[in-house]
Structure 1
Amino acid sequence: MAQDSTPATHTLSARASRGFAWMLVQTLGSKIAGFVSQVFLARLLMPKDFGLVAIAYIAASLPTVLRQTGVPQILIQKGDRFDRWANSAFWMEMATGGVATLMVLAAAPIAAWAYHAPELAGLLIVISAFTGLSALGTVPTAKMSRDLRFRELALLGAGTNVLAAAISVACAFSGLGAYSFVIPMPICMGLRAIAAWWLAPVRVRWQPQLYRWWAMAADSGRLMVVGLCYLVQVQADKLALSIWHGKATLGRYFFATNLSSQIVQLLALNLGSVLFPVLSTLKEDTPRQVAAYLRASRALALAGVPICLAEVVLARPIILVIFGPKWIAAAAVLQVAALAAGVQLAGSSAANLLQAQGRFHAAMLWSLASAATFTVLVFLCSFSGGAVLVAVGGAVCALLVIPAQMLSAIRPGAGRAGDVASVYLPPLFLSVLALAPVGLLEVFVPWFDHHAAVTLVLGAIVTPAIYLPLAWTLRRAEMGELLRHAGPIGRVLRRAGFS
């Protein structure tokens, strides 16, 4: 597909890349703190604690669908008319947040009875407070996204995420068990909402302007379906395991899939938060919009796919050295989930492109197809086997749906199947070359004392030493794009000789 080279395109590309750099810096800090907290939680808690909190998230998921109204996307799409719609959007969010809170509270005793776990009631009461507070900051946060104020969004996200990690570890040391996961949620969400209103105040009146709610309802309804489908894909596998398997099995699966999703959250979700508002400014020029999306996706895949594949190769050493032998049964789940994460990473922002094009109906249909496929596969796999087979079902769903969704999203801009292949194949080929030495060591060298630690250290040194020069030599355009606009990370790498 031809690349657009107009000055406006480069300006928006630079703004998107700088925004992504800020969000990447935020998430690097957040994920480092989150990873450290996950290590402590894995060492201090048992698999059944992870399983218990996974069940609590399942029980809270259906009521929280009401929070998936798509109000941020709708407001961002309004552009210069944001202020006209902000008041009604705020009251719509407060109404749905209040109803969702009551529904989570109502689900608490039912879940405790259904799973024979009295602790679930308390966990869900804490989660209900988070559900209500999450509505408060939606409108000012959307305003910052509309204005492309990614620096403020990054600092806001980093501060609250680091605080949440610290509170979680403190709770685990205090012996609070599964509560260590949920207690930080309402505290940090409340502080985040206060900070968002201080950074981006929005004029709110006491009139809820109900007539505007109906005007937003069509797009909001479609986006709510998209949100429901997302929650299905987040929770259906865990629900299936909770029906046919014990809390410990579910806990190990929850632990492994959370670990594998770190790179997706680090890169793809932050790209989406930047890409949607930037692509929305190009909604009248579809070829440029698609070209910008493909550039971002190729750069994203080049950065993230090798990390996902490294998790596949190094899953056992990672768990033994960092998290402890009690989690070794989760290694195979981590390997399969990391493969799925690599597919999701490169293609996850296709939904952002569809929404930026205003194709909310198409986004809804793809979400429905993905959720239905995922649910059928993971339930069949859970009934037929255990956690590893459920992870395989999720990976198969990703391989079937995500590349097809990408192709659908780029078709209006003359995108082709070859463009989708150009996102996945180069980083896959380079990653296999870079990981081959440590993979051979892990598979063929007989086990010896400290084998896992030696393998992990060599993987951390040898793999990037091979991958980065190869990527710079063979994929110079994508690497240059990353380094030019990666903020402080790019400056460090350029000083190291990648320029």
Structure 2
Amino acid sequence: MRDERDRDTGRTADRAADPPDGIPGNDGPKGAAAGPEGAAGPEGAAAGPMGELGRRVGRGLRWSLLGNLVMKAGSFVMSLVLARLLVPEDFGVFAIALAASQLVIHVNDAGVIAATVQWRGKLEDMAPTATVLAVASSAALYGIFWVIAPYFARLSGSEDATWVIRVLSATNLVYGLTAVRSAALLRRFEQDRLAMANLAGFAVNAAVSITLAAGGAGAFSFAWGQLAGACVTGVLVTFLARLPFRVGFDRAVARRLLVFGLPLCASLGIEGVLLNADSVVVGDALGPVQLGFYLLAFNISSWVPGLVGTAVRYVALPGFSRLAEEDPHSLSEGVRRAVPTLLSVVLPVAVLMGVLAPAVVVFLYGERWAPSAEVLRFLAVVMTVRMLTALAFDVLASLGATRSTVLLNLGWAVAMLPALTAGARLDGIRGAAVAHATVAVLVALPLAALALHRAGVALGSVAASVVRPLAGAAVAAAVMAGLSHLTGGIPLVELCVAGGAGLLAFVLVVVPRAVLRRLGDRMTDLVPARSR
């Protein structure tokens, strides 16, 4: 269920429902903030180094958002259907299998996707060698996990997950075969082609998963659905990339690819631990049923990263990479703009999930999933931090500071693993969520800021730019908490009244009055004169 495959250069979104997104790890180049924002100048003229690049990034981002919006809406509906066809234990078994798959998927291509996107030179010269590296890496890792699947399943608390792991991990073979073609689409900002391939794969994933779930396949319905979707997406990506499928091996090219890719691969491997350690820890400590409740909360908390973050990742690494190559000063300016913009999108949703968690869970999934609500409150905090650290990861990768990404994720993982274990043992799934959120705020955020500072990114002006989003979040939380007590405990009423009022309060605090006034004028202009 974890799609939060925030992957190569990059998941989490709905871990059970989301399809593979055409490249290993499902989420495209990792990162949660927009690429360079410098907009275009007059039509047909570049406004500095950010002009033409800004137009290309903007076009790619629009296609990514459109495709991802459609796919996430379908994924949401699919998750609702599956939650009623399956029991929490099925979700828990699949969560264990997906954790295994995600641990592999982050290192599946040996960093070839990111190295291909950043390649300085002709793509055709390196593609045969890159293909060999990606296929060899994915095949070797699949063989390893085929062997260790029973031990991983036993360690995670459910031996029933063994064959689910083996089926789901086969998607990584598809990712290895299509890695270079996916990277070529990203490199050329052809997100429209990638979106079409992803949507086709999702349609197949949904049809297979729901059909098998209705037929009593349990956790296997997720695994076979994702494998079928990955195959369809892979075929389309190979066709649409317009890159001849040739194999060869050039030692000099391989060396260049691996020098960049392996440190990033190591960092993503650690990130795989970060994204999936909770599944293993909670499953081992509390069993598959409690893990199912935890996983549902994680899926809900991943809606924003899955919708916005995934779409932006398709353009973030190539965009930041080109900008860093042309004008490093503009990269710092892009970071300054991106952080408050990102928070303005994430914080209102995080506040709603945190304050109105019981209403969200019960309204969407039914009363039997109510234990997930206490978990959701704290995973909403983790969601916000993950979006910010994803931005830091993209910026560091664009600067070539891949070793810093290793240190960032390693420090986070070292602190999180014992905290998750202690939290789960002391207070069940709620304790695990509290531990996850605490480490994210107190460890991950400071490490990300330190890594950016050491890489030369100016952060002095960022603090002032986030005051308004943070103030808006505080006001929205107070409004939601106050009104939630007046709704009689009816989930729909609570979400509409308390949630709607809180979101409105956030907008009024965060959006400048001049912008609100212009929006009001435009809305007025749209109303026919006779109806006024």
TM-score bin, normalised by smaller chain: 0.7 to 0.9
- Indicate yes or no: 2:264 matched with 1:223: yes
Q: Separation in 2 of the partners of 1:40 and 1:233?
A: 28
What are the equivalent positions in structure 2 for 1:204-353 lying under 5 Å apart?
204-210=245-251, 212-284=253-325, 285-353=327-395
Instruction: Give, in angstroms, the shift of residue 203 of structure 1.
Output: 2.8
Provide, for residues 435-483 of structure 1, a one-character-per-residue CA deviation record: whole Å limited to 9, x for no partner.
Answer: 54332122x33745xx222112224543444444443325959x99xx9
- Indicate yes or no: 2:479 matched with 1:440: no
Aligned amino acid, residue 371 of structure 2: A
- Could you tell me whether the CA contact under 8 Å between 1:56 and 1:120 is conserved in 2? yes
Aligned amino acid, residue 289 of structure 1: L
Aligned amino acid, residue 122 of structure 1: W
Q: Which residue is equivalent to 2:177?
A: 136
Secondary structure of the 2:84 match is helix
Instruction: Decide whether aligned partners of structure 1 residues 475 and 152 sit closer, same or farther in structure 2, where only a CA change above 3 A counts.
Output: farther
- Indicate yes or no: 2:436 matched with 1:394: yes
- Could you tell me whether the CA contact under 8 Å between 1:226 and 1:367 is conserved in 2? yes
Question: Structure 1 residue aligned with 2:409, among 355, 362, 367?
Answer: 367
Provide, for residues 70-90 of structure 1, a one-character-per-residue CA deviation record: whole Å limited to 9, x for no partner.
Answer: 111111111433221111000
Question: Structure 2 residue aligned with 1:91, among 128, 132, 137?
Answer: 132
Question: Structure 2 residue aligned with 1:416, among 459, 463, 484?
Answer: 459
Deviates more, 1:231-240 or 1:117-126: 117-126
What are the equivalent positions in structure 2 for 1:451-462 lying under 5 Å apart?
451-459=490-498, 461-462=500-501
- Could you tell me whether the CA contact under 8 Å between 1:407 and 1:420 is conserved in 2? no
TM-score normalised over the length of structure 1: 0.88
Instruction: Give, in angstroms, the shift of residue 215 of structure 1.
Output: 3.4
Instruction: Decide whether aligned partners of structure 1 residues 447 and 352 sit closer, same or farther in structure 2, where only a CA change above 3 A counts.
Output: same
Q: Separation in 2 of the partners of 1:446 and 1:140?
A: 52
Instruction: Give, in angstroms, the shift of residue 26 of structure 1.
Output: 1.6
Ranges in structure 2 where 5+ consecutive residues have no aligned partner: 1-36, 40-46, 528-532
Aligned amino acid, residue 415 of structure 1: A
Q: Separation in 2 of the partners of 1:410 and 1:272?
A: 22
TM-score normalised over the length of structure 2: 0.83
Q: Which residue is equivalent to 1:405?
A: 448
Provide, for residues 6-52 of structure 1, a one-character-per-residue CA deviation record: whole Å limited to 9, x for no partner.
Answer: 53324433432332222122221111111111111222221111111
Provide, for residues 185-223 of structure 1, a one-character-per-residue CA deviation record: whole Å limited to 9, x for no partner.
Answer: 111111111111111122343433355323322222201
- Could you tell me whether the CA contact under 8 Å between 2:358 and 2:373 is conserved in 1? yes
Q: Structure 1 vs Structure 2: percent identity of aligned residues?
A: 24
Name the Cα RMSD after superposition.
Answer: 2.9
Instruction: Decide whether aligned partners of structure 1 residues 165 and 4 sit closer, same or farther in structure 2, where only a CA change above 3 A counts.
Output: closer
Q: Separation in 2 of the partners of 1:476 and 1:4?
A: 19
Instruction: Decide whether aligned partners of structure 1 residues 159 and 459 sit closer, same or farther in structure 2, where only a CA change above 3 A counts.
Output: farther
Instruction: Give, in angstroms, the shift of residue 232 of structure 1.
Output: 0.7
Instruction: Give, in angstroms, the shift of residue 245 of structure 1.
Output: 1.2
Ranges in structure 1 where 5+ consecutive residues have no aligned partner: 484-490
- Could you tell me whether the CA contact under 8 Å between 2:208 and 2:228 is conserved in 1? no
- Indicate yes or no: 2:472 matched with 1:430: yes
Instruction: Give, in angstroms, the shift of residue 63 of structure 1.
Output: 4.3
Instruction: Give, in angstroms, the shift of residue 167 of structure 1.
Output: 2.9
Instruction: Give, in angstroms, the shift of residue 338 of structure 1.
Output: 0.7
Instruction: Decide whether aligned partners of structure 1 residues 476 and 354 sit closer, same or farther in structure 2, where only a CA change above 3 A counts.
Output: farther
Instruction: Decide whether aligned partners of structure 1 residues 136 and 476 sit closer, same or farther in structure 2, where only a CA change above 3 A counts.
Output: farther
- Could you tell me whether the CA contact under 8 Å between 2:181 and 2:243 is conserved in 1? yes
What are the equivalent positions in structure 2 for 1:115-130 lying under 5 Å apart?
117-130=158-171
Q: Separation in 2 of the partners of 1:469 and 1:72?
A: 41
Aligned amino acid, residue 454 of structure 1: V
Instruction: Decide whether aligned partners of structure 1 residues 495 and 459 sit closer, same or farther in structure 2, where only a CA change above 3 A counts.
Output: farther
Provide, for residues 408-453 of structure 1, a one-character-per-residue CA deviation record: whole Å limited to 9, x for no partner.
Answer: 325655513441452x4322222333454332122x33745xx222
